[in-house]
A = this chain, B = another copy of it.
């Protein structure tokens, strides 16, 4: 059986990203391919997908086959509820946790200038996007919040490095008049076509 096909079968069977280690463990010890062989097969598979409605994507917890964004007009009709619309408060809270982690709720409130709603924090935890990674050694020992691998997976990212860079102060930018935001948006376009 071809290595590439075995990997495709496993990714579709798993329905979640599989790490290199998990892919290696599909094989009994005596027939286990080298990591380099698996990498090569993954590259082959990615190339095969070029004309197909799925693409091979590496995200934080591994590799997955995902339906291309171009198909969302049709595929999203499968899902009755329209997920993926989040309030600004939700997104701002998430962004602060993502860029400033580990961060306490108090710190988020300082930045946003308003109280952080408990239901937002709870929803973020329920979705598995944030977790408590420790406690700050100040009075009250507030929880330190950080994002998870699932957060990166959901946003199609391999690591926090791939988050769009946090902009410098806009006024400084305006002086330079270098629209720094551009590359990120181009990038997003690429992925959706």
A residues in contact (CB < 8 Å) with B: 1, 5-6, 8-10, 12-15, 18, 22, 25-27, 52-54, 65, 67-68, 70-71, 74-75, 77-78
B15 near A53: Cβ-Cβ < 8 Å = no
Q: How many copies does the complex hold?
A: 2
Chain A contact residues, majority secondary structure: helix
A68 near B12: Cβ-Cβ < 8 Å = no
Give me the 5 closest cross-chain CB pairs, A-B, nearest first: A9-B53, A9-B71, A26-B74, A5-B53, A9-B67
Give bound CA distance, A26 to B52, whole Å: 18
Taking the nearest CB of chain B, how far is it from the CB of A16, in angstroms? 10
B9 near A77: Cβ-Cβ < 8 Å = no
A54 near B9: Cβ-Cβ < 8 Å = yes
Kindly report which residue of chain B lies nearest to residue A79, judged by CB atoms: B13
Assess A75 versus B5: contact at CB under 8 Å? Given A12-B54, A67-B13: no
Chain B contacts of A27 at CB under 8 A? 74, 77
A13 near B75: Cβ-Cβ < 8 Å = yes
A25 near B77: Cβ-Cβ < 8 Å = yes
Of B14, B25, B78, the contact of A26 (CB 8 Å cutoff): B78
